[in-house]
């Protein structure tokens, strides 16, 4: 296992010689920082939650009179489904958490649960 992480060993040289990990982890870190900043902005700004409540009221108004808004019930359901997904991640301030959970699940699929039982991780 040490050969995978030590640049002196031939296993490392054969497997990872052309991969620049610092660039990969720098980009991943920048992306996580940006997601965290967006979450902070959303959580600190109360206007987002009040606007969201207004949107939900507007959905009810549109639902009661679809013809006046040039909508069909199918279009409204699609819009509500999209806004629901938007709320659970962005407006709810959970982009960072959702991304990390997705990353953890992707690692579990590739590596199995053994990786998280390792003392190093």
Binned average pLDDT, 10 residues per bin, the chain of 121 residues:
60 69 83 90 86 87 89 91 85 85 82 60 49
Q: What is the pLDDT of residue 21?
A: 72
Please tell me the distance from the alpha carbon of residue 42 to that of residue 97, in angstroms, as a whole number.
14
Distance of CA 69 to the CA centre of its chain: 33
Its pTM stands at 0.60
Which two three-digit tokens encode residue 45? 């700004």
Please tell me the distance from the alpha carbon of residue 49 to that of residue 118, in angstroms, as a whole number.
41
Angle (CA) 94-97-56 rounded to 5° is: 20
Q: Is 39 exposed, middle or buried (0-12, 13-18, 19+ CB in 10 A)?
A: buried
Q: What is the pLDDT of residue 118?
A: 54
Q: What is the pLDDT of residue 74?
A: 93
């Amino acid at each position: 296992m040490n050969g995978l992480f030590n640049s002196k060993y031939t296993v490392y040289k054969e497997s990872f010689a052309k991969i620049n990990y610092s660039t990969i982890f720098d980009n991943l870190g920048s992306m996580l920082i940006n997601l965290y900043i967006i979450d902070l902005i959303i959580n600190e700004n109360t206007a987002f939650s009040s606007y969201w409540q207004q949107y939900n009221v507007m959905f009810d108004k549109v639902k009661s009179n679809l013809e006046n808004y040039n909508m069909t019930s199918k279009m409204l359901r699609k819009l509500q489904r999209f806004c629901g997904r938007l709320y659970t991640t962005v407006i709810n301030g959970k982009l960072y958490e959702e991304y990390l959970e997705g990353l953890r699940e992707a690692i579990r699929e590739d590596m199995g649960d053994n990786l998280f039982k390792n003392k190093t991780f």
